[in-house]
């Protein structure tokens, strides 16, 4: 019974975990790219890693919190511009290839000894080096607070303050995305998603709109990277292709081209992922299942099941939980 | 275009000649019947336009003028380069050489969006109605200079609500004229092929064009809708727009066009009013074949015996 309670608590905790918020933010950015504009960005982790680096390096260099946040946004923006300028005039698959390789380049440069002085090389940047300015902002008193079964310190890495900030940022970004996608600007993006020549024939500068979407979604991705790094450290190897595919799974699970899809997707995904892993771990150590699957294999099987889920989603429910199937079959530009 | 004009236009009826139309026909009556003939009021002028795909020259037009306020048909056999010429002029393709001007302003080298903004709007052979937007959204998308399409204003609805409301009103007027107003809230994907053609034309009108380029407007349209489509095209001219259209349906061409330009193998081979140009020997040879007077919609053509006879005659010609 205690075991079940522990599993349920851990699952619940994932619903509001800062990492869940970070993925929700990254998926909102991806939603602007893919859901609304039809851009195939296969390197959202690159934007996130750059954002995290921008924030971390700026903070270590002495920048105040909000300046460091701005640096992260600028890093994401520049990355989007560099990737978009040559590829957005080409067919959509070019962007996919360029983004996936560019994200890998960022990761490899980050973990190389070349820029070790700033990036910390393969071991990355330690949390204590860049979190002080963030913790100093916390209005919460010292101590711990328990809400229901969830108990965390008020201010710190894995704290209530991190959660409040992360989800506050999610709410802010959601509001922005809701406002801009219901506007005529959002309508142009949806037009481009379906047929850019038709939009071009109506006198709209398609290249400029695609660039705006790429930059905005990339900058949001960079913010996601900051939120991801806040409770942890900045480790390049934790922010690789797996992260991109998790962000895609989150987006497609929740429903592309919907406002709340990425947030719901992140919550459902991480809760289910946690439930699956803790559940399997518990089963392998307490039942006969342990003879078939050893505890050490649970992570790998979990990752595999995520891949299977992504495939099943794309095949059987491309519109996700919230999406409108009529509106969103796959449109790739 | 005022509301009155839009409601009094009866689609499908040829109607009496308007004053403007009479003047246009008078102007055209003095134009020489030869390829590249100069026109008194050319809205679109092309010179030495060439487009090669590898070793094949798809378009090689020395000179072409399109008279303002007319319906000009561009005809020719398959592969004559009509659609390629369309793509070049509207900025969807880049020529190997050539220049052209629209209303006196050079347009060569401009992108498709710039061409549309200059007032030359096109439709596509394979209709590009945005099927996952509603009919009304399709229309509103075409509205020019919408402040809400600027990212920095888009999140402030009060900056664009007024424009949006006016555009909606105009869109509903145009939709009503095309009998699509009851479909305004439906996804464009649920429309029939002919309705999509109508929507594409209606959407082009939302941009307040001075010249409308229609690429095979009748292709794939239910015969019942053809009459009404023809009426709409004539209405465009009667409102002062210039229409250039590519078409294979010779009845349609004869019925509505004021002037016909014939292309074959990338070159202009003839120009003239529809009644005379179709009798031009060069045109007959290049394109129509000896049986251009035979109604291709004639049921007797379904009879294999008659078809075989016609084919035999064609071969022995």
A324 at the B interface (CB within 8 A)? Answer: no
pLDDT at A301: 87
Distance between A203 CA and the closest CA of chain B, angstroms? 4
For the segment B269-298, the average pLDDT, to the nearest whole number, is 71
Using one digit for the tens of pLDDT, what is the confidence trace for A7-26?
A: 899 889 899 999 999 999 99
Residue A236 belongs to what domain range?
Answer: 2-316
pLDDT at B1: 39
Average pLDDT, chain A: 89
pLDDT at B3: 40
Q: Are B211 and B119 in contact (CB under 8 A)?
A: yes
CA distance A102 to A217: 16
In the numeric block, which tokens belong to residue A300? 């790998």
Environment class of A224 (CB within 10 Å of its CB; exposed 0-12, middle 13-18, buried 19+): buried
Q: Is residue A326 part of a domain?
A: no
Is B92 in contact with A327 (Cβ distance < 8 A)? Answer: no
Break chain B into its structural domains and give their ranges: 3-278, 289-317
Model confidence at A216: pLDDT above 90: yes
| Residue corresponding to tokens 């302003």 | B105
- Chain A residues within an 8 Å CB radius of B161: none
Among chain B, residues having any CB pair with chain A shorter than 8 Å are: 90, 92, 111-114, 116-117, 121-124, 128-133, 137, 140-142, 144, 146, 148-151, 154-155, 157, 160, 164, 187, 189, 203-204, 206-207
Superfamily of domain covering B3-278: P-loop containing nucleotide triphosphate hydrolases (3.40.50.300)
pLDDT at A91: 80
Question: What residue in A sits closest to B186 (Cα-Cα)?
Answer: A326
Model confidence at A175: pLDDT above 50: yes
For the segment A230-241, the average pLDDT, to the nearest whole number, is 87
Which of B131, B142, B160 has the CB atom closest to A183's CB atom? B160
Which of B113, B155, B203 has the CB atom closest to A200's CB atom? B113
pLDDT at B6: 39
pLDDT over 70 percentage in chain A:
98
DSSP B291: T
Which of A176, A185, A190 has the CB atom closest to B149's CB atom? A185
Give the confidence band of B4 by pLDDT, cuts at 50, 70, 90: very low
Give the confidence band of B296 by pLDDT, cuts at 50, 70, 90: low
Is B187 in contact with A194 (Cβ distance < 8 A)? Answer: no
CA distance B120 to B116: 5
Model confidence at A189: pLDDT above 90: yes
- B238-258 CB burial, b ≥16 within 10 A, e <16: bbebbbbbbbebbebbeebbb
A241 at the B interface (CB within 8 A)? Answer: no
Question: What residue in A sits closest to B114 (Cα-Cα)?
Answer: A203
Q: Which residues sit opposite B56 in a β-bridge?
A: B53
Give the confidence band of B161 by pLDDT, cuts at 50, 70, 90: very high
Is B141 in contact with A327 (Cβ distance < 8 A)? Answer: no
The count of other CB atoms within 10 Å of the CB of residue B126 is 9
Using one digit for the tens of pLDDT, what is the confidence trace for A217-227?
A: 999 999 999 99
- Chain A residues within an 8 Å CB radius of B123: 201
Q: Are A34 and A251 in contact (CB under 8 A)?
A: yes
Range of weakest confidence among A28-37, A112-121, B62-71, B109-118 = A112-121
A195 at the B interface (CB within 8 A)? Answer: yes
Q: Is residue A323 part of a domain?
A: no
Question: What residue in B sits closest to A330 (Cα-Cα)?
Answer: B132
How many CB pairs (< 8 A) connect A and B?
Answer: 102
Which one of B91, B119, B148 makes the best mutation probe of the A interface by having the most chain A beta carbons within 10 Å? B148
Which one of B130, B163, B210 makes the best mutation probe of the A interface by having the most chain A beta carbons within 10 Å? B130
For the segment A158-182, the average pLDDT, to the nearest whole number, is 94
Q: Is residue A215 part of a domain?
A: yes
- Chain B residues within an 8 Å CB radius of A180: 151, 154-155
Is A190 in contact with B130 (Cβ distance < 8 A)? Answer: yes
Q: Are A69 and A54 in contact (CB under 8 A)?
A: no
Q: Are B153 and B243 in contact (CB under 8 A)?
A: no
Is A326 in contact with B189 (Cβ distance < 8 A)? Answer: yes
Using one digit for the tens of pLDDT, what is the confidence trace for A25-60?
A: 999 999 999 999 999 999 999 999 999 999 999 999
pLDDT at A137: 87
Which one of A202, A210, A211 makes the best mutation probe of the B interface by having the most chain B beta carbons within 10 Å? A202
Distance between B262 CA and the closest CA of chain A, angstroms? 25
| Residue corresponding to tokens 């079940």 | A4
- Chain A residues within an 8 Å CB radius of B90: 201
pLDDT at B12: 40
CA distance B172 to B1: 14
How far from B317 is each of B77, B310, B312, B314, CA to CA, in Å?
Answer: 18, 10, 9, 5
Is B189 in contact with A176 (Cβ distance < 8 A)? Answer: no
Distance between A329 CA and the closest CA of chain B, angstroms? 9
For residue B57, the surrounding DSSP H or E stretch is strand B56-67
Distance between A183 CA and the closest CA of chain B, angstroms? 6
Q: Is residue A247 part of a domain?
A: yes
Please state the domain count of chain A.
1
Triad A129, A135, A140: Cα angle to 5°: 165
Model confidence at A259: pLDDT above 80: yes
Is B113 in contact with A206 (Cβ distance < 8 A)? Answer: yes
Higher-confidence position of A148 and A78: A78
Alpha helices, H only, B68-210 = 82-89, 112-117, 135-141, 151-154, 161-177, 193-206
- Chain B residues within an 8 Å CB radius of A184: 140-141, 146, 148-149, 154, 160, 164
- Chain A residues within an 8 Å CB radius of B114: 203
CA distance B177 to B228: 11
Q: Are B202 and B130 in contact (CB under 8 A)?
A: no
pLDDT at A268: 92
Is A200 in contact with B116 (Cβ distance < 8 A)? Answer: yes
Average pLDDT, chain B: 84
pLDDT at B291: 53
Using one digit for the tens of pLDDT, what is the confidence trace for B35-50?
A: 888 888 889 999 999 9
CATH number at residue A306: 1.10.3470
Give the confidence band of A326 by pLDDT, cuts at 50, 70, 90: low
Give the 3-state secondary structure of residue B60: strand
Q: What is the CA radius of gyration of chain B?
A: 21
| Residue corresponding to tokens 């209405």 | B235
CA distance A65 to A129: 13
Using one digit for the tens of pLDDT, what is the confidence trace for A91-150?
A: 888 999 999 999 999 999 888 888 888 888 888 888 888 888 888 888 888 888 888 888
pLDDT over 90 percentage in chain B:
34
Is B140 in contact with A205 (Cβ distance < 8 A)? Answer: no
- Chain A residues within an 8 Å CB radius of B160: 183-184
Model confidence at B314: pLDDT above 80: no
Distance between B113 CA and the closest CA of chain A, angstroms? 4
Q: What number of CA atoms fall less than 13 Å from residue B263's CA on the CB side?
A: 27
Give the confidence band of B2 by pLDDT, cuts at 50, 70, 90: very low
pLDDT at A78: 96
pTM, to two decimals: 0.86
Alpha helices, H only, A88-205 = 92-111, 116-119, 127-130, 132-136, 160-181, 184-194, 196-201
């Amino acid at each position: 019974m205690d075991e079940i309670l522990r599993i349920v608590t851990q699952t619940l905790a994932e619903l509001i975990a800062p990492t869940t918020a970070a993925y929700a933010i990254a998926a909102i950015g991806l939603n602007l790219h893919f859901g609304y504009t039809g851009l195939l960005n296969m390197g959202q982790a690159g934007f996130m890693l750059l954002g995290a680096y921008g924030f971390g390096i700026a903070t270590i260099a002495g920048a105040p919190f909000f300046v460091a946040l701005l640096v992260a946004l600028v890093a994401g923006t520049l990355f989007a511009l560099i990737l978009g300028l040559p590829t957005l005039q080409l067919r959509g698959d070019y962007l996919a290839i360029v983004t996936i390789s560019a994200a890998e380049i960022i990761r490899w440069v980050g973990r190389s000894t070349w820029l070790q002085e700033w990036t910390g090389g393969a071991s990355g940047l330690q949390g204590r080096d860049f979190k002080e300015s963030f913790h100093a902002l916390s209005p919460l008193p010292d101590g711990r607070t328990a809400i229901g079964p969830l108990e965390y310190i008020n201010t710190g890495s894995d704290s209530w303050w991190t959660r409040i900030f992360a989800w506050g940022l999610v709410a802010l970004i959601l509001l922005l995305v809701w406002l801009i996608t219901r506007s005529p600007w959002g309508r142009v993006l949806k037009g481009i998603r379906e047929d850019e020549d038709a939009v071009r024939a109506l006198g709209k500068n398609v290249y400029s709109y695609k660039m705006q979407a790429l930059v905005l979604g990339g900058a949001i991705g960079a913010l996601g990277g900051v939120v991801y790094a806040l409770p942890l450290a900045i480790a390049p190897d934790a922010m690789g292709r797996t992260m991109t595919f998790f962000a895609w799974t989150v987006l497609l699970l929740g429903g592309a081209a919907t406002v709340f899809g990425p947030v719901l997707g992140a919550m459902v995904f991480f809760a289910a992922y946690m439930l699956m892993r803790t559940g399997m771990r518990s089963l392998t150590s307490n039942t006969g299942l342990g003879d078939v699957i050893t505890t050490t294999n649970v992570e790998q099987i979990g990752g595999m099941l995520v891949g299977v889920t992504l495939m099943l989603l794309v095949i059987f429910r491309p519109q996700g939980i919230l999406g409108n199937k009529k509106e969103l079959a796959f449109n790739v530009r | 275009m005022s509301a009155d004009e839009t409601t009094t236009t009866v689609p499908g009826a040829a109607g009496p000649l308007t004053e403007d139309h009479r003047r246009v026909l008078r102007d055209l009556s003095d134009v020489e019947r030869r390829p590249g003939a100069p026109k008194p009021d050319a809205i679109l002028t092309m010179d030495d336009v060439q487009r090669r795909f590898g070793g094949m020259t798809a378009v090689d037009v020395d000179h072409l003028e399109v008279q303002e306020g007319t319906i000009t048909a561009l005809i020719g056999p398959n592969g004559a380069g009509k659609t390629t010429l369309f793509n070049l002029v509207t900025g969807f393709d880049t020529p190997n050489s050539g220049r052209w001007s629209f209303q006196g302003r050079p347009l060569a080298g401009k992108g498709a969006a710039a061409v549309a903004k200059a007032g030359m709007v096109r439709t596509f052979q394979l209709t590009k109605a945005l099927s996952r937007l509603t009919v009304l959204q399709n229309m509103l998308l075409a509205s020019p200079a919408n402040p809400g399409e600027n990212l920095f204003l888009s999140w402030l609805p009060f900056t664009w609500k007024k424009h949006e409301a006016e555009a909606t009103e105009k869109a509903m007027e145009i939709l009503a004229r095309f009998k699509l107003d009851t479909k305004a809230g439906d996804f464009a994907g649920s429309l029939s092929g002919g309705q999509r053609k109508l929507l594409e034309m209606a959407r082009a009108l939302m941009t307040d064009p001075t010249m409308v380029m229609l690429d095979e407007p009748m292709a794939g349209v239910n015969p019942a809708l053809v009459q009404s489509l023809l009426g709409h095209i004539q209405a465009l001219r009667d409102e002062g727009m210039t229409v250039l259209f590519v078409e294979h349906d010779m009845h349609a061409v004869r019925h509505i066009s004021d002037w016909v330009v014939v292309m074959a193998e990338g070159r202009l081979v003839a120009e003239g009013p529809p009644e005379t140009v179709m009798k031009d020997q060069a045109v007959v040879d290049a394109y129509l074949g000896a049986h251009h007077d035979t109604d291709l919609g004639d049921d007797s053509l379904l009879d294999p015996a008659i078809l075989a006879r016609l084919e035999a005659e064609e071969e022995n010609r």
